[in-house]
């Protein structure tokens, strides 16, 4: 009879510990990963709107200049490649 009481008591302690742990997890005062993702998403939207509103004209000019320089670099490398093929005796297409 005493042996059953000890087993029951240990099982009860385990059940109580599990209930306390579950309660502690449910009432945690920090943010969950879902809340962090929501906050990051909202912050990203606000930053994007502010960026577009205040800096779009400057960024657009810089992007157009960069795109033009990139296209020129690509064209010049293609021309240099075709010239080196011609000089080496290859047929020009």
**Domain range enclosing 83:** 33-87
Q: 92 or 51, which is more confident?
A: 51
- Convert the pLDDT of each residue in 43-77 to its tens digit: 999 999 998 899 889 889 999 999 999 999 988 87
Domain match, 25 and 54 both: no
The reply to whether 79 and 58 lie within a common domain is yes
Question: Is the Cβ–Cβ distance between 63 and 57 less than 8 Å?
Answer: no
Here the tokens at position 58 are 């400057």
Tokens of 32: 């969950």
Cβ(69)–Cβ(75) below 8 Å:
no
Asked if residue 77 and residue 37 are part of one domain, the reply reads: yes
Nearest to 47 by CA among 58, 39, 36: 39
Residues 79 and 41 in one domain: yes
Residues 43, 51 contacting (CB under 8 angstroms): no
pTM of the entire structure? 0.37
> Same structural domain for residues 26 and 42?
no
Does residue 20 form part of some domain?
yes
Number of domains in the chain: 2
Distances (CA, A) of 79 to 62, 67, 86, 93: 26, 18, 11, 12
Say yes or no: 25 and 7 in one domain: yes
């Amino acid at each position: 009879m005493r042996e059953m009481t000890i087993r029951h008591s240990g099982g009860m302690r385990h059940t109580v510990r599990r209930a306390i742990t579950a309660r502690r997890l449910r009432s945690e005062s920090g943010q969950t990963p879902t809340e962090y993702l929501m906050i990051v998403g909202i912050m990203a939207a606000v930053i994007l709107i502010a960026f577009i509103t205040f800096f779009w004209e400057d960024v657009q000019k810089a992007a157009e200049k960069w795109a033009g320089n990139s296209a020129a670099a690509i064209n010049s490398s293609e021309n240099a490649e075709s010239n080196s093929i011609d000089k080496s005796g290859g047929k020009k297409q």
